[in-house]
Amino acid sequence: MKVLYRHIIIILFGVFIPYFVFATHNRAGEITYKQTGPLSVEMTIITYTKASSVAADRDSLDVFWGDGSGEFVRRDNSKTRFDVNDIKVNYYIANHTYPGVATYTISFLDPNRVGGILNVNYPNSIDIPFFLSTTLTLLDRQFQGFNNSAILLQPPIDIGCVNKLFIHNPNAYDADGDSLAYELAAPLMALNTPVPGYKYPDEIGTTVSNSFTINPITGEVRWNAPKLQGEYNIAIKIKEYRNGTLINVILRDMQILIRACENEPPTIQTLEDICIIAGQKIDLTININDPNINQKVRFSATGGPFTIANPAKLTAPSFFTSVPFIAKLEWQTNCNHISDQYYQIVLRAVDNFYPDSTGLATLKTIRIKVVGPPPKNLNAKTENGAVRLEWESPYACEVTDNKFFQGFSVWRKIASSNFQPDTCNPGLSGSPYQKIVFKTLTQSNGKYFYIDNTTVRGETYCYRVQAEFAKLTATGNPFNKVESIPSNETCLILSRDVPLITKVSITKTGKIDGAIHLRWTKPLAEQFDTIQNPGPYLYKIFRADETTAFSEIANFSHLYFSASVDTNYFDKDINTVDHQFTYYIEMFSTNNTSSKSADASSIYLSIAPSDKKNILTWQSTTPWANKRYTIYKKDDQNNFLAIAQTNLTSYEDKNLINDVQSCYKIESEGTYSFDNIEDPIINFSQEVCQAPKDNVPSCAPTITVLNICDRLTNDVNPEELYNTINWVHPNQICPTIAEDIVAFNIYYAETINDALIKIASQSISDGLTYIHYPANGLLGCYAVTALDNLGNESELSAKICVDNCPYYVLPNTFTPNNDGSNDLFTPRVNLFIANIDLKVYNQWGNLVFETADPNINWDGTSLSGKELADGTYYYLCRIFEKRVTGVIESKNNLSGFIHLIKN
């Protein structure tokens, strides 16, 4: 029976060979799914096939579920449709229940792709199987929630023109709110098995002005620009993350049709990034045009906002229309649209260049983030030794579907800050504030409130509140949390029974005669208990710098608390050039009870000279928030004039003359953000002078490395084993900073992990080419730097690594007859081969010769030394190559026949 069974299999295989060889079928496709139960999914396979290939049409697919089981899934013919360019779209839908919570890979394999794909085993792509997979993770629904795959809204077949920018976007949308990332990959012919002979599209034809990239965030594919017309296939991995953990991967196989056409794509003009508060309406104007005369354009859009409740609306002609014309995108957002991920809309305009009413398309991606509104009117007041916070009720988004709104979190920091909420990056995570309450919904007297009883007297506390949103698991546990825009900031000091510093301002810059104006306020009379802390009172001033600890520098006393006290102090004869000074004030009563202010420092300015500019940076530590800085610069009359304002702590003064000195100082404007205290708080830094200088090196050259591997033939000359390093002069890349290049340094490393070392310097007069003979074949990595006439060296260019190109060619005949010609069987070409495993067999399958020497040198004798008879021998040869990563077995092992002829 076993023998009979094997014969049946062989016969069946013979029957199906023509079907596999001549059928041409799959163009593109993907697998997506919806989770329908704790362990159940509904899977959808969409394939795009060659409509005219009727013999290879599949009414069902053999699907493997990844848990050891599989089934034939029939096509849903009610969804089948036909598109132009000989395309048929097929849907296969099935349900499956898994045995448990785990990660699974759904896949299917079809024996046929379409023929003639230029970058897949060309010219025999028709023989290469078509394989799709999606890896999914079934989560613990009690704690982690459900998990649906992303859906891909842009079809995986697109058209481009030779030498024209090609743009595509799969436009993935994930309804769960998981984050998505995109990555190019090689198409597969089986699980984890790339198709043979695969090349990325920019490797077909010349690589000059030819790049193929994908934006990992938006998924936008750009090919600038195709060089050869024909059909190409690529694969895109759409990766889905939840809380930083990879949970799904869709492998989409897509096809690009490149045609030879003298045609420019249409143009789309509109905003590309929009951040909007839930409840606001997007009303966007989109301008569509085309540079080609008499061409019409059809406009469309896909994206997540069109697939959800209360969707976006596109108003535009649905047919080819004369240009220019205007389209409208409208979306009335609401609280259920809030997400920490951007919604994505892909706009597509295609012209009618070809008679079949298709042509060249252009795409533009719009990203929209809908954020939660801020809680309104937050204020703080003291209550029984604690801080009571109150804010407005009702909150604008407290009513949402599926309990999406969770409540409010309360955030606090000591002292105010210049933190500014960002609509595109809402929330306080990563801000100077610390979360002190994770969730509260407490209300009283028509307001939300929270009481903070963890404060310490004398400290300045500042608060913000933000709304928290999240999806819920079946048991009510939150996941994919979203933060709203935070509320306004409110600040107070729990008990103003301590001094508060309000000025640390440098009034004179000097190494020995510098001076700082220090000012503070007394404690508030109504909050300072003079009965428990009777006078007389003593104020002490303490000072420190970055090298010395705090020490007392002055003190003042007065008999009564209500007595008038001068709270200004001028700290003189100090080094304000080299040091930053920090102060605090401590007040003592008769019973030796003390109350201490917070520390406050002067502003310290530093300047780094650069080419035709000075880079200013400054720092200070204060209990108040510095909201704004003014940069002053001395003019020709020695007067300081304001030249700029910023809320940052750095500034670049540009367009200067090198080696000409300029002098600066910084003014800060700050606030404690509560009443009954000096506001604004104004302070100055020391004065600093600096001259810009040319210490900026050129940008790095761009390099290429060429060698014999780029033109392998069967008559390789060993003397040509060298690498030619060419580079582009930096003045073509960054002309403004590459005017004075005088030389180049060439760096080399033998392996990809070795550090680059300088192997040569070359004057600019010696050209932009260097020839290097590596010690070990051709392998190695190179980089080049540029040097200017002041000795500034650029950064290393992008490192280019070249590998050996192992090339091994065996003859099919030799004549071991001792006539001095062709007596030994040796390779015709032996390039970068470490060793081999050659076995030669006679016609009966007996081993007659073997060797590991890549030179072989077989003289036609057997393993026992006997001369072999004339005839045809069969060989198998495993080849082990010298590569930049070490010795590896070749993917191109050899087999064939040897004709041994002595007579």
Distances (CA, A) of 184 to 120, 121, 234: 15, 18, 8
Rounded Cα–Cα distance for residues 783 and 727 (Å): 10
Distances (CA, A) of 593 to 538, 543, 556, 662: 10, 21, 16, 50
Rounded Cα–Cα distance for residues 47 and 62 (Å): 13
Helices (H) and strands (E) in the chain, counts: 1, 68
Q: pLDDT value at position 449? A: 97
List Cβ neighbours of 81 (8 Å cut-off, separation of 6 or more).
88, 89
Q: pLDDT value at position 100? A: 93
Strands in 205-272 per DSSP E: 211-214, 221-224, 230-242, 245-259, 267-269
Q: Which two tokens stand for residue 275?
A: 């951040």
Q: Which two tokens stand for residue 820?
A: 């001095």
Read off the DSSP letter of residue 440: E
Strand bridging mode 829-831 / 325-332: unpaired
- H or E element in which residue 11 lies: helix 2-22
List Cβ neighbours of 628 (8 Å cut-off, separation of 6 or more).
418, 645, 646, 647, 668, 669
Rounded Cα–Cα distance for residues 174 and 147 (Å): 10
Q: How many CB atoms lie within 10 A of CB 314?
A: 22
Rounded Cα–Cα distance for residues 597 and 583 (Å): 9
Strands in 26-129 per DSSP E: 26-35, 40-50, 60-64, 70-74, 81-83, 87-97, 103-110
Rounded Cα–Cα distance for residues 898 and 824 (Å): 12
Q: pLDDT value at position 8? A: 28
- H or E element in which residue 277 lies: strand 273-277
Nearest to 219 by CA among 236, 240, 235: 236
Contact call for residues 860 and 899 (beta carbons, < 8 A)? no
Q: pLDDT value at position 225? A: 86
Rounded Cα–Cα distance for residues 681 and 272 (Å): 40
Q: How many CB atoms lie within 10 A of CB 194?
A: 15
Q: pLDDT value at position 18? A: 34
Q: Which two tokens stand for residue 386?
A: 């604690």
Residues found in the chain? 903
Rounded Cα–Cα distance for residues 867 and 872 (Å): 14
Rounded Cα–Cα distance for residues 861 and 304 (Å): 73
Q: 629 burial class (0-12, 13-18, 19+ CB within 10 angstroms)?
A: buried
306 φ, ψ (degrees, to nearest 5): -85, -10
Burial 576-585 (b: 16+ CB within 10 A, else e): beebbbbbbb
Contact call for residues 735 and 711 (beta carbons, < 8 A)? no
Strand bridging mode 361-371 / 273-277: parallel
Distances (CA, A) of 829 to 707, 772, 808: 17, 23, 5
Strand bridging mode 151-152 / 702-706: unpaired
Contact call for residues 732 and 803 (beta carbons, < 8 A)? no
> Which residue bears the tokens 């208990």?
529
Positions of the chain with pLDDT lower than 70, given as ranges: 1-24, 207-208, 356-357, 416, 710-719, 884
In the chain, the amino acid numbered 318 is S
Distances (CA, A) of 192 to 107, 134, 247, 442: 11, 12, 18, 54
Query: What is the chain's alpha carbon radius of gyration, rounded to the nearest angstrom?
Result: 38
β-partners of residue 671 are: 625
SS3 3: helix
